[in-house]
Structure 1
Amino acid sequence: MAFRHGILISPDQIRIQTADRTQYQINNDQQLFIQGELQQLSPEDIRVLQKYSHGMRKFVPQVVGIAVDSMELGLQAIESMLVGVGNKAQQEEWQALVRETTYQIMSRFVRSGEHFYLAPQSLNEMDAFLHGELKENLNTLAKNTVGAVWQALRDALQQTDDNFELNDSRDWQPVEQLVDKINLGLDAKADELEAKSALFCNRLVELDQIETELQQRVPGLAAYDVVIAK
């Protein structure tokens, strides 16, 4: 199962988007606008529209929540290593790297209060995202930033009278521990998604059926098939 279009959910609206442009929207679970035009719906049409809207509101926040929590878990672990280490310019550089990585990865999952956004993708892609792309990016970020932290410590210690050296094994041990912590948390979230995937797929099949019924009642929606089977 997959989403062909982006889905933006707020307390009052559901927007179906392509390339950041709203194709249609549902207001208050009972009004339907296609390309900005209000559609005239019968009471039975509204009943089906409400079922579809309620299904979206149950499913999308769960998926977005798992992805966002996974990302935050890794970034918190990294940021905890950077507090008070290095000079102000180095800290700003590391923080900028964390923000850029966050922006690049999380552009496909957004959660802000009661607002949620899910980019077009399939459940398999989400699983691959948690197991592969997210883990790889966080691991690389951890090694780069913590490696820079250790270099800053070396530079500081070399300017003192103390003869202090770290061998390679001690140098990288904290990084390995950090990576293990990140992977452990991500694996837990990935397992959570996997455990829910059958239920998610069943809900999406039901949602797809409701969407088909709604499209039959409102032919203008046929051009915007959101929930699909791959």
Structure 2
Amino acid sequence: MAFRHGILISPDQIRVLTADRTQFQINFDRQLFIQGQWITLSEADTEVVAQYSQGMRKFVPQVVGIAVDSVELGLSAIESMLIGVGNPTQQEEWKALVQETTYQLMSRFVRSGEHFYLAPQSLNEMDAFLHGELKENLTQLAKNTVGAVWGALRDALRQTDDNFERSESQDWQSVEQLIDKINLGLDAKADELEAKSALFCTRLLELDHIESQLQQRVPQLLQYDVVIAK
């Protein structure tokens, strides 16, 4: 199952977007607007709109929540490892790097209070995001930042004390421990997503069926097929 369009949910609205432009929206779970035009609905039509809107409100926040929590978990592990390591300038640079990584990854998922955004994607793509893209980015970030810290620290200590040396295995042990911690947290979230995927797909099939009913009642929506089976 997949979402062909982006979905933005707020307490009063559901907006379906393509390239950040609203194609249609539902206000208060009852009012339908297509390309900014209010669509007159019968009582039966309004009931189907309400079912569709409520289905979106149940499902999308769960998907966004799992993705956001996964990213925050991985980045918090890195940030906790870097606290107090290096000089203030270095810490600011690493903090900026973590923030930029967060921004890049979270452009697909947004959660702010009661507002949620989900970019067009399938559940398989989200699983690949957690197992592949996110884990790879965080692993490289951990190696680059923590590895650089230990390298600079070793060089400084060698200049002040010829008898002090730190082996390469000791240097990278801390990095590997951090990576293991990151991966463990991400794997737990990915397993959580996998355990819920059957329920998610069942709900999406139901939502797809409701969407088909709504398209039959409002033919203008046929060109905006949001929930699809892949």
Q: Corresponding residue for 1:154?
A: 154
Unaligned runs of 5+ in 1: none
1:120-199 equivalence runs, <5 A: 120-158=120-158, 160-161=160-161, 163-199=163-199
Aligned mates of 2:41, 2:162 — CA distance in 1:
80
| C-alpha deviation, 1:162, in angstroms | 7.1
SS in 2 for 1:165: coil
1:45 aligns with 2:82: no
Aligned mates of 2:74, 2:228 — CA distance in 1:
32
What is the TM-score normalised by the length of structure 1?
Answer: 0.96
Aligned mates of 1:90, 1:3 — CA distance in 2:
41
Give me the identity figure in percent. Answer: 81
Q: Corresponding residue for 2:229?
A: 229
Q: Corresponding residue for 1:26?
A: 26
**Corresponding letter in the other structure for 1:203:** R
Aligned mates of 2:22, 2:177 — CA distance in 1:
44
Unaligned runs of 5+ in 2: none
**Corresponding letter in the other structure for 1:32:** L
Q: Corresponding residue for 1:82?
A: 82
Aligned mates of 1:163, 1:46 — CA distance in 2:
79
| C-alpha deviation, 1:161, in angstroms | 4.6
Q: Corresponding residue for 1:61?
A: 61
**Corresponding letter in the other structure for 2:79:** E
Aligned mates of 1:59, 1:187 — CA distance in 2:
22
Q: Corresponding residue for 2:215?
A: 215
**Corresponding letter in the other structure for 1:5:** H
Equivalences, count: 230
SS in 1 for 2:164: coil
| C-alpha deviation, 1:151, in angstroms | 2.5
Aligned mates of 2:151, 2:91 — CA distance in 1:
13
SS in 2 for 1:16: strand
Aligned mates of 2:153, 2:73 — CA distance in 1:
25
1:100 aligns with 2:100: yes
What is the TM-score normalised by the length of structure 2?
Answer: 0.96
Q: Corresponding residue for 1:5?
A: 5
| C-alpha deviation, 1:164, in angstroms | 2.3
The alignment's C-alpha RMSD in Å is 1.2
| CA-to-aligned-CA distance 1:45-79 (integer Å, 9 cap, x gap) | 11111100110011011111111111011100000
